[in-house]
A and B are shown apart, each in its own frame.
Chain A
Amino acid sequence: MTLRWPRLLAGDWLLLSLLLLTCGASFHWLWWQQGNAGELILSADGKVVSRWPLRLDHRFELHGPLGITVVEVHAGRARIASDPSPRQYCVRQGWLSRAGETALCLPNRTAISIGGQDQDDTLAF
């Protein structure tokens, strides 16, 4: 048996290129175009303090038992700019931009999370 490359037919090439296009499109739409998250939800002590549309830049101060958590909204993204928690996990998490992303500053009992357009997903849990 000689090792010969099997011959692909016209339809195979067509289907293959269509699928590769779909792959590219899925990366484009699902990964790189997902900045359209709706709003930022700020919580302190387990309660929602306020909701803020991500398209408006703003700085917030959330008050917790340890001190003040500074939240920054800029260019459709949000982050914890500073926080008194000892390990700084929520600060190091950096910018959040996708629906469902959350940064928790547990010691200071503050948190931010990004809400998407549809909010019914967590009901099943």
Chain B
Amino acid sequence: MTHWHSDTRELLASSHDHQLARLAACGIVLALLDAALPSPLPGIKPGLANIVTLYALASLGWRAAVWVSLLRIIGAGLLLGSLFTPGFWLSLSGGCGSLLLLAGTRWLPRRSFSVVSYSLLAACGHLGGQLLLARGWLIPHQGLWLLLPPLLTAAVITGLINGLFTLKLLESAKDET
């Protein structure tokens, strides 16, 4: 039988793909919420979308976390109209930084480190990625490091809160099954 280019082709989406898409959609909603919340200082944000990345990491693995977080960054960039602006690149470099540190968490013994540690590391990775990009490209000035103390403190606090949220979420997901 001849294939016409007007034939519709089915792209088969596995249930895994659906799960990723669902998580990424949650992440986009949380990222929008994040952007809507007023922040005391530019650069300090709750980073609620990290909860979704952490949930994906804990329940589906690191690859899933990469997918969910990259889809969320691009999706949120589209919806906020910030795609390919400096803010978008900052968000992307922060996401890559936190994914890199999350990749390292596989060597942490699971008996003594819970998802709260992952969240703290992810928050610091996010800050690190953003600061390196900002220092290297956007604001090439030594004075940028003066922002580090308050930003790091904020990262630790938000990382802790998000981590506790995720832990709670994972516990209740376990209780249900």
Contacts and interface: CB of A to CB of B under 8 A. Distances in A.
Interface size class of B (residues with CB under 8 A): 20 to 34
B142 A116 contact: yes
Contacts of A116: 142
Interface residues of A, number: 29
Given A12-B116, A20-B156, A100-B143, A27 B149 contact: yes
A30 B146 contact: yes
Interface centre among A7, A19, A22, A99 (most CB of B within 10 A): A19
A65 B142 CA distance: 34
B112 A16 contact: no
A111 B133 CA distance: 32
A66 B150 CA distance: 42
Interface residues of chain B: helix, strand, loop or mixed (majority) = helix
Contacts of A10: 112
Contacts of A11: 108-109, 112-114, 117
B141 A19 contact: no
B148 interface: yes
Contacts of A26: 148-149, 152
Interface centre among A7, A16, A34, A99 (most CB of B within 10 A): A16
Given A99-B142, A121-B141, A9 B111 contact: yes
Interface residues of chain A: helix, strand, loop or mixed (majority) = helix
B175 A16 contact: no
A26 B155 CA distance: 13
A86 interface: no
B64 interface: no
Interface in B123-157: 124, 140-143, 145-146, 148-149, 152-153, 156
Contact of A121 (B140, B153, B167): B140
B149 A30 contact: yes
Contact of A6 (B140, B152, B167): B167
Given A15-B120, A15-B121, A19-B156, A31 B149 contact: yes
Nearest to A27: B149
Contacts of A121: 140-142
B117 A15 contact: yes
A12 B116 CA distance: 6
B141 A100 contact: yes
A99 B146 CA distance: 11
Contact of A1 (B121, B142, B175): B175
Given A6-B168, A30-B148, A12 B113 contact: yes
Interface of B: 108-109, 111-114, 116-117, 120-121, 124, 140-143, 145-146, 148-149, 152-153, 156, 160, 163-164, 167-168, 171-172, 175
12 contacts: A1-B172, A6-B116, A7-B114, A12-B116, A23-B152, A23-B156, A26-B148, A27-B149, A34-B146, A118-B142, A121-B140, A124-B140
